[in-house]
Amino acid sequence: MTDETMTDDTMTNTSHALAELAREARMGGAGTETSAREIRRIDLSDFEARKADITEELWAAATDIGFFQLVNHGIPQHVVDGAFAGAQAFFALPGETKARHGLRKGLNAGWESMTQVRPSVGTPDLKESYQLTRPHMDGLWPDDALPDFRAGALDFEARCRTVALRVLSCFADRLGFEEGFFDRAHDAASDTYQSTLRMLHYFAIPGDAELDPDAWRAGAHTDFDCLTLLFQRDGQGGLQVCPGKEAEAGEWTPVVPAGDVITCNIGDMLMRWSGDRLPSNFHRVKSPGPDGDRSARYSIAFFAQADKETVIADPDGRYAPITAGDYIRQRIAANFARR
């Protein structure tokens, strides 16, 4: 490969990142709500014996709207509840304690608060979060305040990765990738592993506070990763999705939270890897309306994104190959360039 070709590929990849962010910047309006579209539930029980049928169900849901929910996913409810208890314990720590474990820029590890600005709205999300990215956690564990937190978080992250790789193995089959393709691309033992577990706390809103129509718990966005697994609590709603077919009309479908399901969406990385066969579509977390529940909202997300040195190349050569590390860096750089 010549230097000129490498430069052309870099320019193409940068332009692609900017185009994706430009698409997001158009999604800041309130839009309308609709319940006409179903978020399909897919049963993962008896996975190996039923894999062919599960693959067809996943592919149909993913290619239609890019969102689906998993039931009988294999993570026991008491483990999910324990993960939420750990998250709430961390977020209840004093601010100065959390600040000692602050986010390391470029490494997606540690605690941050009110720092994530979406191009769609231009205002910070009304939340704080704690990121677990395995190779970058030295000094970021609150072991002194929460001695059991580290073990519980690492165990939950590993369970999430297992579920994500099962789903990704189905997509690999349909895309014609060899067996174990995505397992090798998401190697938890690698120093370049960049999948992330994110614990999220959306702040309570005082009952007498005036609601800012331009403030969102999380503004409209797509995810950078391959596949997102989202865990929610019963009664803590607000998540809305806007599939591509509804994006121009600004029609948003609420996702009813349930503690025993995992809500999943395709990310930008897998959309590119699939040559756009699998769409990465918009979602947001709205703030409560005048009569809505203003209490705190908690969720936990696992972002399966390929190890940094893994090359993303779609089967039909639609896009220039790019490493997963460069892809994430370009998406982040494009995001900041729009501020």
Token pair, residue 267, equals: 């990310």
Helix axes 324-337, 3-25, angle to 10 degrees: 50
pLDDT at 105: 81
Quote the CA–CA distance of 13 and 321 in Å, as a whole number. Answer: 9
pLDDT at 237: 80
Q: From first to last of its 339 residues, what are the pLDDT tens digits of the chain?
A: 334 444 455 545 555 544 555 555 555 566 777 777 889 999 999 999 999 999 999 999 999 989 999 999 999 999 999 999 999 999 999 999 999 999 988 889 999 997 765 554 456 677 899 999 999 999 999 999 999 999 999 999 999 999 999 999 999 999 999 999 999 999 999 999 999 999 999 888 777 777 665 566 777 888 999 999 999 999 888 788 887 666 666 788 888 889 999 999 999 999 999 999 999 989 888 777 666 677 888 999 999 999 999 999 999 999 999 999 999 998 877 765 444
- CB count in 10 Å sphere of residue 313: 15
Collapsed DSSP state (helix, strand, coil) of residue 316:
coil
CA atoms within 13 A on the CB side of 270: 36
The one-letter amino acid code at 104 reads R
Please name the residue ranges forming H helices in the chain. 3-25, 47-64, 77-91, 95-99, 149-175, 181-185, 244-247, 268-273, 324-337
> Is the pTM for the entire model greater than 0.85?
yes
Q: Are 280 and 267 in contact (CB under 8 A)?
A: yes
